[in-house]
């Protein structure tokens, strides 16, 4: 599609640029990764409707014109894929930072009136079909009711100032800033208020992290994004000059704001504090660290972020484990 997609991940249902292409605070649309589990469904943009049903006072449907006529909100947010649901602890570093525009979910739900016994909202997309041998009637995700009073969850119509393309989930998708991308249902056709979690494949079998703590299995839905960071520059395998100042920079993000980013230039032996910019709404945060390499040879650069609650990044075996690259320090020419 264009030269930014990484070799091997320019597939019909997965596009991803290399980390070194993520130089901008606002990721240009042609460098925003994209992922569909079951392909892009046939879309009738002109007659699109979203129904709001289940535990509501009034079941309603809203069309595109209704949504366009309502107050539009903009939310700047990072957008991160949780990774392949069969391999949840493999980091894929599929992330972008974009501006979504659309109608506040809260406002749409208020039109229907959510009943007090509703505990989850199921969101359904127009896509379905075969997913690795399982027949999926429709893509369904769910959110806990406590989140729904936020004013930054959107029924989004635009990304970076342009109407959502077919591949992006247009004409209307859910966007849940701070939650993994999988929760932001594309080609949104219904919102269903219910008392329990959705029984669908992508909310039960897939996208639940399981850990054993004191002999008990603890299941955490893949909802809130854990702290994560990556180095954009220098790129992996770049050559930098000895004795010359090099700016190491990258992005850090989490459901909560990031407070500290640390950088190591010797493979995690010593860590130094980087400068971190404040977050805007749910954006990622730029960090930078000025490094003057004193010795030649291969150097392993790493970064790790800590959020305001003190949560950091694990060393390995996690989707948000510490990012590391290698650069070659050479004699200046």
Interface residue with ligand MTE among 5, 78, 100, 139 (CB under 6 A) is 139
Distances (CA, A) of 77 to 180, 187, 257, 301: 11, 20, 12, 26
Residue 185 binds to ligand MTE (criterion: CB under 6 A): yes
Q: Considering CB distances under 5 to 8 angstroms, the limit depending on partner class, which of Mo ion, ligand MTE, none binds residue 168?
A: ligand MTE
Joined together, the tokens standing for residue 64 give 């595109």
Question: Near ligand MTE by CB under 6 A, which window of 32-40, 45-53, 231-239, 283-291?
Answer: 32-40
Interface residue with Mo ion among 124, 158, 182, 246 (CB under 5 A) is 182
CB of 50 to Mo ion, least distance (A): 22
Longest dimension (CA), the chain: 73
Interface residue with ligand MTE among 97, 182, 198, 285 (CB under 6 A) is 182
Compute the distance between CA of residue 91 and CA of residue 82 in angstroms, rounded to an integer. 8
Residue 181 binds to Mo ion (criterion: CB under 5 A): yes
Of the candidates 193, 225, 185, the one whose C-alpha atom is nearest the C-alpha of residue 209 is 225
Per-residue x/- mask for ligand MTE, residues 44 to 83, rule CB under 6 A?
Answer: -------------------------------------x--
Q: Considering CB distances under 5 to 8 angstroms, the limit depending on partner class, which of Mo ion, ligand MTE, none binds residue 37?
A: ligand MTE
Residue 27 or 264: the one with the smaller Cβ distance to ligand MTE is 27
Q: According to CB under 5 A, which residues from 5 to 64 bind Mo ion?
A: 35
Of the candidates 291, 298, 293, the one whose C-alpha atom is nearest the C-alpha of residue 243 is 293
Q: How many residues does the chain have?
A: 333
For residues 19 and 4, the answer to whether their CB atoms sit within 8 Å is no
Residue with tokens 């954009």: 232
Question: Near ligand MTE by CB under 6 A, which window of 144-152, 179-187, 192-200, 242-250?
Answer: 179-187
Of the candidates 64, 38, 15, 14, the one whose C-alpha atom is nearest the C-alpha of residue 127 is 38
């Amino acid at each position: 599609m264009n030269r930014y997609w990484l070799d091997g991940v320019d597939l019909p249902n997965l596009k991803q640029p290399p980390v070194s292409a993520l130089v901008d605070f606002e990721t240009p649309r042609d460098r925003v990764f994209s992922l569909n589990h079951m392909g892009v469904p046939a879309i009738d943009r002109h007659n699109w409707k979203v129904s709001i049903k289940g535990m509501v006072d009034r079941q309603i449907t809203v069309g595109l014109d209704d949504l366009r006529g309502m107050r539009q909100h903009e939310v700047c947010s990072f957008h991160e894929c949780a990774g392949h649901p069969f391999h949840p602890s493999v980091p894929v570093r599929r992330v972008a930072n974009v501006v979504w525009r659309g109608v506040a979910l809260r406002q749409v739900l208020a039109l229907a009136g959510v009943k007090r016994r509703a505990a989850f909202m199921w969101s359904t997309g127009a896509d379905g079909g075969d997913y690795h041998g399982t027949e999926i009637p429709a893509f369904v995700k769910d959110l806990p009711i406590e989140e729904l009073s936020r004013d930054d969850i959107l029924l989004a119509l635009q990304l970076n100032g342009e109407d959502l393309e077919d591949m992006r989930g247009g004409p209307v998708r859910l966007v849940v800033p701070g939650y993994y991308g999988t929760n932001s249902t594309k080609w949104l056709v219904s919102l269903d208020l219910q008392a329990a979690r959705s029984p669908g494949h992508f909310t039960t079998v897939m996208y639940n992290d399981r850990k054993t703590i004191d002999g008990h299995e603890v299941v955490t839905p893949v909802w809130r994004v854990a702290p994560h960071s990556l180095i954009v520059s220098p790129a992996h395998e770049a050559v930098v000059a000895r004795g010359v100042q090099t700016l190491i920079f990258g992005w850090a993000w989490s459901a909560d704001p990031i407070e500290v980013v640390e950088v190591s230039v010797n493979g995690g032996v010593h860590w130094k504090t980087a400068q971190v910019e404040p977050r805007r709404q749910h954006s990622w945060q730029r960090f930078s660290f000025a490094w003057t390499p004193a010795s030649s040879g291969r150097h392993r650069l790493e970064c790790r972020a800590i959020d305001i609650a003190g949560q950091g990044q694990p060393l390995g075996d996690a989707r948000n484990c510490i990012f590391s690259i290698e650069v070659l320090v050479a004699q200046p020419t």
